[in-house]
Chain A
């Protein structure tokens, strides 16, 4: 149990366009979902935390108008990269927690975004 999926797994887009990445918890309800960014040979950096039905909480330095997060249901959260630029190219990973107080997170497989 505790499977998290992401779609798409890989996306290429042109500079200036927007890209939406979906994160789904397949066999459990995720009260809280997290979005991370991973640069090559670096660690995961938390971008934002979203709780179902409320606004996401963004980490310092993350532009909330650029990285739009929606957590519309207990099984789906989306990350939209708006007006993408080449520097947004990265590996985006989501994770989900069963409850707001749960310390354990279940990770999705990640989405590779390349902006040309």
Chain B
């Protein structure tokens, strides 16, 4: 079954530092990949998604992610973080192929704290 690993559980950065959050998935077939963000007290919001095409995907708020098929990875990056980026970040992959419901499998999340 598909699984998603996020290696960094808790990241602390100073403002203007660069960010890279790791995400790896297990199943090597056709996948759709997502990064969601959950700001304190708010609901999950989509940051960016990859379905096909250019493996470098740009999302909202200056975030980008690169799909590397050979590494089963979809790491999230931002060149310069801001205090307002403090949130929890979830990587997600669509479920097993052939599934009629296109279930999302989530990673365990990475809590990012940006210090001013």
Partners in one complex: yes
Determine if A107 and B102 form an interchain contact, defined as CB atoms under 8 angstroms apart. Answer: no
CA distance A100 to B34 in the complex (A): 18
Query: A104 and B46: CB pair below 8 A?
Result: yes
Q: Is the CB of B42 closer than 8 A to any CB of chain A? A: yes
State whether B90 touches A103 (Cβ < 8 A).
Answer: no
Chain B interface: which of A42-50, A66-74, A80-88? A42-50
The answer to whether A49 and B101 touch across the interface, beta carbons within 8 angstroms, is: yes
Number of chain A residues whose Cβ lies closer than 8 Å to a Cβ of chain B: 25
CB-nearest residue of chain A to B104 = A105
Between-chain CB contacts (< 8 Å), 20 pairs: A32-B101, A42-B109, A43-B108, A46-B103, A46-B105, A51-B101, A93-B44, A95-B104, A97-B102, A100-B101, A100-B102, A103-B32, A103-B49, A103-B51, A103-B94, A103-B102, A107-B43, A107-B44, A109-B42, A109-B43
Interface range on chain B (Cβ under 8 Å from partner): 20 to 34
Q: Mark A12-39, 1 if CB is under 8 A from B, else 0.
A: 0000000000000000000010100000
Bound: A93/B51 CA distance, A: 24
A110 to B102, CA, bound (A): 21
A4 to B90: give the CA distance in the assembly, Å.
Answer: 19
Q: Flag if B49 contacts A104 (CB, 8 Å).
A: yes
* CB atoms of A46 and B107 under 8 A apart: no
